[in-house]
Amino acid sequence: MPAAADLPHPAADRIELVDVLAALGHPVRLEIVRKLASGAEACCGEVVPDLPRSSVTHHLRTLRESGVIRRRPQGRKLYLALRREDLELRFPGLLELVLACRSRPLDSECDEQPL
């Protein structure tokens, strides 16, 4: 098993849409992404809700492996950042659309916008 510093992040050109959508499809992971949307790195404890450690590990691994976030260990802390530039290059507009749409009723304005 690789050390935390050695955990792979997919190269920008290897990020797949199906993986990103699957990662963003869970409410906890979507909330983590929203908290990282400012662009600044944040400590793991600042963005992850009160969940069991195994759940946190699972959600962060899913986001990392899909290419949505980047993890950077520094000492005993783990810093997270949204890979906004990589996602925008790969799937223009997707992240902004996902971040703009909160959970809304089906007749909300987000659902009425043409694709």
Indicate whether 1 pLDDT > 50.
no
Residue 93 CB coordination number (10 Å): 9
What pTM did the predictor assign?
0.81
Distances (CA, A) of 78 to 75, 90, 97: 8, 26, 28
Mean pLDDT throughout 42-70? 90
Alpha-helical segments (H) within 17-108: 17-24, 27-36, 44-47, 53-66, 84-90, 94-100
Residue 97: what residue type?
A: L
Mean pLDDT throughout 34-40? 90
- Rounded to an integer, what distance in angstroms lies between the CA atom of residue 43 and that of residue 54? 17
Indicate whether 111 pLDDT > 60.
no
- Rounded to an integer, what distance in angstroms lies between the CA atom of residue 78 and that of residue 20? 22
Kindly indicate the confidence band of residue 52, based on its pLDDT and cuts at 50, 70 and 90. confident
- Which pLDDT score is estimated for 6? 63
Kindly indicate the confidence band of residue 90, based on its pLDDT and cuts at 50, 70 and 90. very high
- Which pLDDT score is estimated for 113? 47
Kindly indicate the confidence band of residue 5, based on its pLDDT and cuts at 50, 70 and 90. low
Q: Please answer whether residues 19 and 86 qualify as being in contact, where contact means their C-beta atoms are separated by less than 8 angstroms.
A: no
